[in-house]
Structure formats: C-alpha cells, structure tokens
C-alpha cells in the first residue's frame, strides 16, 4: 500500500528540481521516467506535458497535476519538521503547489501497479505552464485523451474540501487616446486622456459585484510629463463570474463606461476583451462527485463541495467535456514563502485517489 517514505522522498526530489513556468523540461523527464519505470505507456508533447496510461477495468480516470511553479522558486531547500510539516527555508516558495499533487499521483501509480486488485484505467496528465494561463492544458491534444472523468490534484486547504465550480475569466486591455498640448500655454487645445480614463474607472462596477462575480482594474499607465496634457493612457483589468450571463453583463458595462467617457470628452477608446477561460460547475448529483463523496465518507472524512474563485487546468478539462473536480493534497499559503504541506495530508490525498480508482 502507500509508502510514506517513498511519497515524501518523491516530493522532496520534485521540489528540488527548479521548474518555473516555461522551464519544466527536467521535472517532466523525472516524472515521465518514474511512470515508465512502473510500466505506464508514457509520452510527452512538444510543450513537455507528460501523459501516462495504465490499462485497467471500467472507465478510465484522468489524474492531473501541474509541473510548474511561481517565483521565487529556484533553489528550493525543503525543511521537514518533526511534525511532518514541510516548508521552504523562507527564501523561496515550497512548490507544493503543485508538486504535492504530482507526488500524490506518482505514489498512486506505485500503489496501483504493485497490487493485484482490479482498478480503473489510469490516465495521468501532468501539465506545464498552468500558472501562465493554463497554457499547457489549453494547448494539449485532447483527441488523445480517453477519460471522461478527472481529478485535478491542484487544490489548497483541507483534503476533504473539493472544488466543483470555478469562474469564467475575461481580460480587459483598454486605452484612451486624447490630445496632447502644453499644459501651461494651451491647455484648452488638449484632451486629457488620464482624466477621461479616471472618469470611466470611477463609474465601473469593480470589486465583488454579486455572489458570483468580481471585477478589477489592476494596472494603469500613461502620460509623459507634468507639463504636457497626456494624450494616451492604458489600463488592464479582469472580470470573473461563475455565471456566463453575468460575466457578459459586467464586462459590457465596463466597455460602455470607457466608450461613453471617451465620447463625452471627444477622446477615443480602444478596448480589447480576451476570454481566458470558461466557468464550470459540476452538480452534486454528478456521478464523479457522488463517487468522491462516498469514498471520502468511507475513509472517515467529512467531504464538502465548494466553488473556487480562481481558474486552473480543471477549467480546460471541463471545457473539453472531461468532468473534472479539484482535490487538495493539503497545500497551505500557496504562492508565498510561507507555503507548507503536511506529509499526513499528502498521504490522505493519495489514499483517496487509490480508493477512487477501486484499490481498497
Ligand atoms: Zn496550482
């Protein structure tokens, strides 16, 4: 069954390999090598996404985690406490997001290949560049994926809290073009782009807009000198919503405020909206959700099903018809230098995966 030392060592090996997004080659080779050694059918694509398949009985189950990390993530020196909690030395993140997920999947692969108990076919997909707009899962070859159900081991917080919904996300890039003039000699000849933009922003719906939606303007840049009426200013922002309709309504309102403010000031607005990912929501009656709930209860856990405010690989899998929920391997404080994970939680997560595959 689960070998805690092996799981811990796998995790420590993984975090010691530098893998900022876009540089996952070495960690991809490590994971692919481990899966090959266990008899998985393995291939990697030209982005370094790793695919592993092990035949079995019944419907295949996709297990996903991502190989990349956010900065500062070079030279991670994991420290294992007597309490089984693993942290960085404080100068970097730990990288448990998401190498705790990768380690849990590799340990699951060990357990399943070491047993004679029948199990579901396992389809492992370890992605690159999840932290950069899910670029790995966005561009992988879905024609090769057999599973219709998946677990993305990329959650944070308690192991018995599962994410079954995530929002859609639209990015906003906008510029206001005014007219430059000398601010002292001829201000009436100018159109102040910064002022027009500020008027638009002041009217935008921002922050938490309703129970399902948020919006933000995150950057602003413009102007050249204090004595020149600025002729150009640019912003970037975003809208997220669990409701497609609300996403569109809020996004449109932001576009309207930009255009109205520009027209009123005889300036010009240039607005670009990019759809970054699509929302998903699995119903509690979904067979995969029921299976996870029953399995967790049998293990003595108290499963809860929640919505997350962030996007991840699970959005891409769901958008391609693979019902995927997000499982936490127990990662805490992700994306910070105080990130940590308890070995006990990684073990619990692995037990859950093994049980869901049918090996109990
Ligand atoms: Zn992650």
Number of domains in the chain: 2
Q: Which pLDDT score, from 0 to 100, does residue 126 have?
A: 98
52 and 147 assigned to the same domain: yes
48, 107, 130, 238: which one is catalytic? 130
273 and 131 assigned to the same domain: no
CATH number for the domain including 59?
A: 3.40.630.10
16 and 145 assigned to the same domain: yes
**Alpha carbon of 99 to ligand 1 centroid (Å):** 9
pLDDT, mean over the chain: 97
82 and 207 assigned to the same domain: no
**Alpha carbon of 161 to ligand 1 centroid (Å):** 15
Domain boundary, last residue among 217, 252, 277: 277
23, 24, 48, 68: which one is catalytic? 68
CB contact set of 61 (below 8 Å; sequence gap of 6+): 120, 121, 122, 123, 147, 149, 150, 151, 356, 357
Q: Does pLDDT of 1 surpass 90?
A: no
**Alpha carbon of 96 to ligand 1 centroid (Å):** 8
Q: Is 68 a catalytic residue?
A: yes
Q: Is 98 a catalytic residue?
A: no
Cα 43 to Cα 64: distance, rounded to the nearest angstrom: 15
Say how many CA atoms lie within 13 Å of 239 toward its Cβ: 27
272 and 297 assigned to the same domain: no
230-269 pLDDT tens trace: 999 999 999 999 999 999 999 999 999 999 999 999 999 9
Determine the structural domain holding residue 73 and report its residue range.
4-166+279-356
**Alpha carbon of 54 to ligand 1 centroid (Å):** 24
Give the global pTM.
Answer: 0.90
Task: List, in sequence order, every residue forming a beta bridge with 74; answer none if it has no partner.
Answer: none
* Strand pairing class (50-54; 41-44): antiparallel
114 and 56 assigned to the same domain: yes
Q: Does pLDDT of 360 surpass 70?
A: no
Q: Which pLDDT score, from 0 to 100, does residue 197 have?
A: 98
Do 232 and 175 contact (CB within 8 A), yes or no? yes
């Amino acid at each position: 069954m689960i070998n805690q030392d092996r799981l811990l060592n796998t995790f420590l090996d993984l975090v010691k390999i530098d893998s900022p997004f876009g540089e996952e080659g070495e960690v991809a080779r490590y994971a692919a090598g481990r899966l090959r050694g266990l008899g998985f059918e393995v291939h990697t694509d030209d982005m370094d996404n790793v695919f592993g398949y092990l035949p079995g009985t019944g419907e295949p189950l996709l297990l996903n985690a991502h190989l990349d990390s956010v900065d500062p993530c070079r030279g991670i020196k994991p420290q294992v406490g007597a309490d089984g909690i693993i942290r960085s030395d404080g100068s970097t993140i730990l990288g448990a997001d998401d190498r705790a997920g990768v380690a849990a999947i590799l340990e699951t692969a060990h357990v399943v290949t070491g047993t004679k108990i029948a199990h579901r076919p396992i389809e492992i997909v370890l992605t690159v560049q999840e932290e950069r707009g899910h670029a790995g899962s966005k561009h992988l070859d879905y024609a090769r994926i057999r599973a219709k159900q998946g677990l993305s081991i990329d959650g944070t917080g308690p192991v018995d809290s599962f994410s079954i919904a995530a929002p859609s996300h639209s990015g906003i890039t906008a510029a206001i073009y005014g007219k430059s003039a000398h601010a002292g000699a001829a201000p009436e000849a100018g159109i102040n782009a910064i002022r027009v933009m500020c008027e638009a922003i002041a009217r935008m719906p921002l922050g938490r807009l309703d129970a399902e939606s948020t919006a933000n303007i995150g950057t602003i840049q413009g102007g050249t000198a204090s004595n020149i009426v600025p002729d150009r200013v640019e912003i970037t922002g975003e809208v997220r919503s669990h409701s497609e309709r609300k996403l569109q309504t809020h996004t449109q309102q932001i576009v309207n405020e930009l255009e109205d403010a520009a027209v009123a000031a005889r300036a010009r607005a240039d607005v670009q909206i990019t759809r970054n990912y699509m929302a998903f929501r699995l119903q509690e009656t979904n067979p995969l959700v029921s299976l996870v709930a029953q399995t967790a209860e049998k293990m003595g856990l108290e499963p809860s099903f929640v919505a997350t405010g962030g996007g991840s690989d699970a959005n891409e899998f769901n958008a391609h018809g693979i019902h995927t929920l997000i499982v936490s391997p127990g990662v805490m404080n992700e994306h910070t230098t105080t990130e940590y994970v308890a070995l006990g939680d990684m073990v619990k997560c692995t037990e859950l995966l093994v049980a869901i595959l049918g090996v109990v």
